[in-house]
Chain A
């Protein structure tokens, strides 16, 4: 049975439709991210799940029981969820130990049991030695760990996180991503994670919900999302890509500077504009004309940048108006102006709307 079910949930603020027609099911123990640009309705969705915001349409069920609808909302304190806020919301008047033990105290556990659980979870987040400190004496990363410990120690039904890493510096952010995933693997708490950072979502999540302007664009695993984006928005938001506009001419589809057999292309027989996304990594560069199943296009190196982990080339097919972006390994060095061959696998071209 599903742990959490959102059915056609919507939320209006006056004329603003913050969230519209949002449907999502989480299986127990799943880690799902809500990913999208700022203002797309991620926080509003999360706060509806937490019970702080009533939906203006639709319902939310947990374990088969309805917890939110426009007419009745189970209050947050009755939901047995945990939430990590963007500000961490660590209480500055309590020590680390008191912060973490608070939820257990509210649940009326015995003194001894609280101590035991608090110590155990502080060990997990490597904060045991700072148990007696006040939050003002902790770094941002340590406060973050306290927030995590405080949320997990109560063994919540669902864990909600709202951009928990956005206040940390880049290095720490990367470390904490893995930390969050590690904690999830250890405790298997059903989790909804809000972020605007695609790599954060990719590292942590089982599935990602890409949102745009209050609506769901696509729900898929990180791999499928990257390899098979369904819309122009998703293709552009997750990683970098080339957008290729094609027009059907007989059995071929003509693109800027080359053409491909319609039979080899996904969805080339459908109606509407033929827009394809082609990842820079999916294009090969060669000095000799390649043979075999791929499309070979003669081109010229128009520009390049070296980024350490890879080369970012701009390569212009002969006769094309715009160059394509191509990523290669750091050892594939081509000078600007060199004639090269592009190897394009038509099956890597994904039709998007």
Chain B
């Protein structure tokens, strides 16, 4: 059993990673694992010499961060309204949030392109259109998470605030938000990380100044620059891993929420 698990893990993780790392440090990846084949030249090139590679990583992170944050805030609001039945026909709102899930990224991108590229908006190639597209793409993940989180909260917890004289806003601020901060952080990471790699929508919507890392990597593979590609990919990995680690630490440490009443 254990052997099998290791084998699967190896196939899925170690082997591709091994070759990725090898390529990133190689002078030429075809020459194998020898010591004489190791250098930091690829990293130096990608970070300092290449015109847009470093910028593309920054773009990826900024776009993903803004998108993840807006998705979490938007879906929290909608999920709260829908779950607590604050408006009639809330179910439709909820469905709209999940709908993008069935739309392929490419189709979504073309839709965005058609809607926002022509004047007067003329957003094509700008950061806002990328952020809008990412926000839409990841709305379903955010919504499913937010609505599960809110449903796990007993509404009596908020009613207790109201009875004691607090408004619904007080309840949200003092009770709902603190109790959900853990699941919301989780949802944020769940959106942020894939958003840094999003390719299918980005490839249609980027402009000269808004190229993101995934598109950059795709370009490099087209050109056959596997060493640079590997180095850039590795940089992306190394930058995201600590986030995951911080996230896990934060989630595990939140002992107060151990027994969130259901």
Interface of A with B (CB < 8 Å)?
50, 52, 75-83, 85-93, 102-103, 106-107, 134-136, 150, 154
Q: Are the CB atoms of B256 and A93 closer together than 8 Å?
A: yes
Collect the chain B residues with CB atoms within 8 Å of residue A82's CB. Answer: 163-164
Collect the chain B residues with CB atoms within 8 Å of residue A81's CB. Answer: 163
Q: Are the CB atoms of A150 and B164 closer together than 8 Å?
A: yes
Question: Does chain A have a CB within 8 A of B259?
Answer: yes
- From B165, B257, B259, B261, give the contact of A103 (CB < 8 A): B165
Q: Are the CB atoms of B179 and A87 closer together than 8 Å?
A: no
Collect the chain B residues with CB atoms within 8 Å of residue A134's CB. Answer: 255-256
Collect the chain A residues with CB atoms within 8 Å of residue B256's CB. Answer: 92-93, 134, 136
- From B159, B170, B174, B259, give the contact of A76 (CB < 8 A): B159
Cα separation A85 to B163 with both chains bound (whole Å): 11
User: Given A134-B256, A136-B258, A89–B164 Cβ distance below 8 Å?
Assistant: no
Which residues of chain B in 200-224 are interfacial with respect to chain A, using CB atoms and an 8 Å cutoff?
A: none
Collect the chain B residues with CB atoms within 8 Å of residue A78's CB. Answer: 165
Which residues of chain B in 145-190 are interfacial with respect to chain A, using CB atoms and an 8 Å cutoff?
A: 154, 156-157, 159-167, 170, 174-175, 178-179
For the A-B complex with A89-B154, A92-B260 known, give 14 more contacts whose Cβ atoms are closer than 8 Å. A52-B162, A75-B162, A77-B166, A79-B163, A83-B163, A85-B159, A89-B159, A90-B261, A91-B179, A92-B256, A106-B164, A107-B165, A136-B258, A150-B160
The list of the 4 closest CB pairs from A to B, nearest first, reads: A103-B164, A89-B160, A89-B156, A136-B259
Q: Are the CB atoms of A91 and B166 closer together than 8 Å?
A: no
Q: Shortest Cβ distance from A168 into chain B, in angstroms?
A: 15
Collect the chain B residues with CB atoms within 8 Å of residue A93's CB. Answer: 175, 178-179, 256-257
Q: Shortest Cβ distance from A60 into chain B, in angstroms?
A: 15
Do most interface residues of chain B lie in helix, strand or loop, or is the interface mixed?
Answer: helix
- From B159, B175, B178, B179, give the contact of A83 (CB < 8 A): B159
Q: Shortest Cβ distance from A134 into chain B, in angstroms?
A: 5
Q: Shortest Cβ distance from B158 into chain A, in angstroms?
A: 8
Collect the chain B residues with CB atoms within 8 Å of residue A90's CB. Answer: 261
Collect the chain A residues with CB atoms within 8 Å of residue B161's CB. Answer: 102
Q: Shortest Cβ distance from B232 into chain A, in angstroms?
A: 42
Collect the chain A residues with CB atoms within 8 Å of residue B156's CB. Answer: 85-87, 89
Q: Are the CB atoms of B258 and A91 closer together than 8 Å?
A: no
Cα separation A81 to B164 with both chains bound (whole Å): 7
Q: Shortest Cβ distance from A51 into chain B, in angstroms?
A: 8
* Nearest residue, chain A, Cβ from B157: A89
Most chain B CB within a 10 A radius of its CB, from A78, A85, A107, A134: A85
User: Given A89-B154, A106-B170, A77–B160 Cβ distance below 8 Å?
Assistant: no
Cα separation A80 to B164 with both chains bound (whole Å): 7
Collect the chain A residues with CB atoms within 8 Å of residue B257's CB. Answer: 92-93, 136
Cα separation A103 to B256 with both chains bound (whole Å): 21
A-B contact pairs, 23 of them (CB 8 A): A77-B163, A77-B167, A79-B163, A83-B160, A83-B163, A87-B154, A89-B156, A89-B160, A91-B157, A91-B175, A92-B257, A92-B259, A92-B260, A92-B261, A93-B175, A93-B179, A103-B164, A106-B164, A106-B165, A134-B255, A136-B256, A136-B259, A154-B165
Q: Shortest Cβ distance from A246 into chain B, in angstroms?
A: 49
Q: Shortest Cβ distance from B256 into chain A, in angstroms?
A: 5
Q: Shortest Cβ distance from A160 into chain B, in angstroms?
A: 8
Cα separation A102 to B157 with both chains bound (whole Å): 13
Q: Shortest Cβ distance from B22 into chain A, in angstroms?
A: 48
* Nearest residue, chain B, Cβ from A138: B259
Cα separation A269 to B52 with both chains bound (whole Å): 103
Cα separation A110 to B167 with both chains bound (whole Å): 20
Q: Are the CB atoms of A52 and B159 closer together than 8 Å?
A: yes
- From A87, A102, A107, A150, give the contact of B261 (CB < 8 A): A87
What does the 1/0 interface line of B232-262 toward A look like (CB < 8 Å)? 0000000000000000000000011111110
Collect the chain A residues with CB atoms within 8 Å of residue B175's CB. Answer: 91, 93
Q: Shortest Cβ distance from A133 into chain B, in angstroms?
A: 11
Collect the chain A residues with CB atoms within 8 Å of residue B165's CB. Answer: 77-78, 80, 103, 106-107, 154
Cα separation A176 to B177 with both chains bound (whole Å): 33
Collect the chain B residues with CB atoms within 8 Å of residue A80's CB. Answer: 165
Collect the chain B residues with CB atoms within 8 Å of residue A106's CB. Answer: 164-166, 170
Cα separation A87 to B256 with both chains bound (whole Å): 18
Collect the chain B residues with CB atoms within 8 Å of residue A136's CB. Answer: 255-259
Q: Are the CB atoms of B160 and A85 closer together than 8 Å?
A: yes
Cα separation A38 to B147 with both chains bound (whole Å): 30
